[in-house]
Amino acid sequence: MGKSVILFWVGIIFIALGCGQPPSSGTETRSPKPPVNQPVMPPPPPAPSARTDGKAIFEKNCATCHGTRGLGDGPMAAGLPNKPTNLALDITQKKEDKKLAEIIKEGTDKGMPPWKYILKEEEIQEVVKHLRELGKKK
Ligand code: HEC
């Protein structure tokens, strides 16, 4: 009885010391950790500045009345006493940039709101450029 208890403990110690495991071959199979390829965050693409993009300015401020294509068919058009001008037509396109900028800045007494308090000079110039684009899409 006593002998088997000793054998039991010897066995436990053997296992605990790792003697039951095959001898280590000595060669490290664990390769050194490869350098972690942390994806370097690419810089965000330059956001198209809504403030100087004539198309964006137009779609945000003008399309409600004039329509996205400037045809005078915006969602608010029907409720206005005067129809917003179809900006793609000659009547507008034949006006000089300066004249168009002036109308946009000052508005008209027939329902075109003045934008000089809302848009910066440079933004109005961009919108005028966009009006020319609308004219080409007739
Ligand atoms: C509240 C509705 C409304 C909004 C918003 C609006 N317009 Fe107008 N717009 C009109 C109306 C109505 C007219 C016609 C006014 C008139 O005949 O005097 C007009 C006329 C114009 C004209 C004159 C066209 C011409 O040949 O005489 C230009 C240019 C114009 N708008 C550009 C713009 C631009 C650019 C914006 C945005 C920055 C804008 N409008 C926003 C209602 C609007």
10 lies in a domain?
no
Non-local (6+) Cβ contacts of 74 within 8 A are 62, 63, 64, 65, 66, 67, 68, 84
**What pLDDT is stored for residue 51 in this prediction?**
54
CA 23–ligand 1 middle distance (angstroms):
89
* String of DSSP letters for 115-138: -TTTS-HHHHHHHHHHHHHHHHT-
**What pLDDT is stored for residue 116 in this prediction?**
97
Q: What pTM value is reported for the model?
A: 0.72
Q: Residues with beta carbon inside 6 Å of ligand 1?
A: 61-62, 64-66, 76, 80, 82, 84-85, 87, 91-92, 95, 100, 103-104, 108, 110-113, 115, 127
CA 49–ligand 1 middle distance (angstroms):
23
**What pLDDT is stored for residue 34 in this prediction?**
64
Domain range for 84: 54-136
85 lies in a domain?
yes
**What pLDDT is stored for residue 120 in this prediction?**
96
CA 82–ligand 1 middle distance (angstroms):
10
128 lies in a domain?
yes
| Mutation pick for ligand 1 pocket among 112, 122, 124, 125 (CB with most ligand atoms within 8 Å) | 112
Locus of tokens 């490869």? 34
C-alpha to C-alpha distance for 78 and 57, rounded to whole angstroms = 22
The domain tally of the chain equals 1
Q: What is the mean pLDDT of each run of 10 residues along the chain (138 residues)?
A: 71 63 57 70 66 90 98 96 97 98 98 97 97 86
46 lies in a domain?
no
